């Protein structure tokens, strides 16, 4: 795939899976002259982790400022020896909410750094859902996870650079209480989602619903087709109602969802939504080749989004997320063609008739799982309060 699209003097390249993403990321880091910022939820100590770590170390040794921000839960298994090697080479490493008291349930512990961003020299940026880990999840699954990222060159890369630098300084201030640097922080950049290329954030202060609102506006304006591929699909009432309304007014609504059980509670809670969606005419395809990790959508072949945000309470209400929204038929067409290919070859259609034949035990399991998730969501709430990193 890796097709480049020129949009308003900017270049966007859609990348499918780590097979296309990691070589482009390493090449950009290898060419870095001034700075490299990398944010990720998972940084694993596997072959891919060592590949990216090596590129970061080389950049730091050349004299570039290299800053790595890791989520304290998602990257908690990163071997200490890798961290030592990174720091010894001059890479600055910070943790976003490091896990200290693992067995205490606190709402703030669920506010994770879930976005996956990289910026090189303030000119080349990467936005998407791909973690720094091997493409193939291991165990009995031999195929890579399905996921996407976008390489961005142009003005939007500079806005992404501002966002990652701002969060770095905020985490740095929180860790070390460096008041002078905190005073220099500018407000987080906020793009107009009506732009041809918009970089949207989700945080717990000024941009709590930016990504969700972009989805809802695109769905409300859909006339022909909505295609959504999402790893953890558990939308709230408003989002669900928007999809149902679109289907009822004649829009073809296609969902590509997780077919393999990865996290049981979330998976069976998601299945509890199938009857309502199928009854309204929504098409549901379950991805079977591997785990589905994508968080992407295409509307009417001219609006597309690629990013880190799932359509579930943890992404839409709690996590720090980042999505790129693109209004361009060429880019959207490339993403749609890739999703259509995956649906045709690696997914199974769920029919309403077959779904209604599910046994009582299966229905009870789904309802119980959905009830537990709803209860947890109610207890968590909307993560109100200051965005204190």
Select from 38, 42, 44, 51 the least CA-distant residue to 73: 42
CA atoms within 13 A on the CB side of 357: 5
5 is catalytic: no
Angle of the 237-248 helix axis to the 210-220 helix axis, nearest 10: 20
Given phi > 0 = left and psi -120 to 50 = alpha, else beta, which region is 141?
beta
Which of the following is catalytic: 121, 134, 191, 387? Answer: 121
Which of the following is catalytic: 5, 71, 114, 161? Answer: 114
341 is catalytic: no
Q: What is the Cα 311 distance to its own chain's centre?
A: 10
Which of the following is catalytic: 5, 207, 267, 293? Answer: 293
Please state, in angstroms and rounded to a whole number, the distance separating the CA atoms of residues 26 and 133.
Answer: 14
SS3 361: helix
192 is catalytic: no
50 is catalytic: no
141, 260 Cβ separation under 8 angstroms: yes
Which of the following is catalytic: 5, 71, 116, 161? Answer: 116
312 is catalytic: no
Please state, in angstroms and rounded to a whole number, the distance separating the CA atoms of residues 310 and 312.
Answer: 6
Active-site residue list: 114, 116, 121, 293, 295, 300
């Amino acid at each position: 795939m890796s097709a480049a699209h020129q949009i308003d003097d900017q270049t966007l390249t859609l990348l499918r899976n780590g097979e296309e993403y990691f070589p482009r990321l390493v090449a950009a880091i290898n060419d870095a002259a001034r700075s490299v910022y990398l944010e990720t939820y998972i940084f694993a100590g596997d072959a891919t982790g060592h590949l990216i770590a090596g590129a970061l170390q080389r950049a730091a040794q050349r004299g570039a400022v290299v800053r790595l921000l890791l989520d304290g839960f998602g990257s908690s298994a990163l071997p200490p020896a890798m961290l030592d090697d990174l720091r010894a080479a001059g890479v600055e490493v910070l943790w976003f909410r490091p896990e200290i008291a693992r067995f205490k349930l606190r709402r703030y512990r669920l506010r994770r750094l879930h976005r996956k961003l990289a910026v090189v020299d303030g000119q080349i940026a990467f936005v998407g859902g791909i973690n720094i880990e091997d493409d193939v999840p291991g165990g009995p699954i031999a195929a890579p996870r399905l996921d996407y990222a976008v390489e961005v060159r142009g003005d939007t890369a500079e806005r992404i650079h501002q966002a990652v630098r701002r969060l770095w300084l905020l985490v740095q201030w929180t860790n070390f209480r460096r008041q002078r640097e905190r005073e220099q922080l500018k407000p987080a950049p906020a793009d107009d989602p009506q732009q041809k290329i918009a970089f949207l954030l989700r945080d717990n202060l000024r941009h709590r619903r930016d990504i969700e609102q972009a989805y809802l506006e695109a769905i409300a304006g859909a006339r022909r087709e909505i295609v959504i591929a999402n790893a953890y699909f558990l939308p709230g009432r408003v989002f669900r109602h928007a999809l149902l309304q679109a289907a009822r007014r004649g829009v073809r609504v296609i969902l590509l969802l997780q077919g393999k059980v990865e996290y049981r509670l979330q998976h069976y809670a998601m299945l509890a939504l199938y009857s309502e969606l199928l009854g309204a005419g929504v098409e549901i395809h379950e991805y079977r080749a591997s785990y589905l990790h994508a968080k992407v959508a295409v509307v009417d072949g001219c609006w597309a989004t690629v990013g880190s945000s799932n359509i579930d309470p943890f992404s839409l209400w709690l996590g720090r997320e980042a999505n790129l929204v693109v209004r361009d038929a060429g880019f959207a067409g490339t993403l749609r063609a890739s999703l259509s290919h995956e649906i045709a070859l690696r997914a199974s259609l769920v029919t309403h008739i077959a779904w209604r034949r599910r046994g009582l035990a299966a229905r009870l399991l789904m309802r119980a799982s959905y009830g537990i998730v709803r209860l947890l969501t109610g207890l968590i709430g909307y993560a109100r309060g200051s965005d204190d990193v």
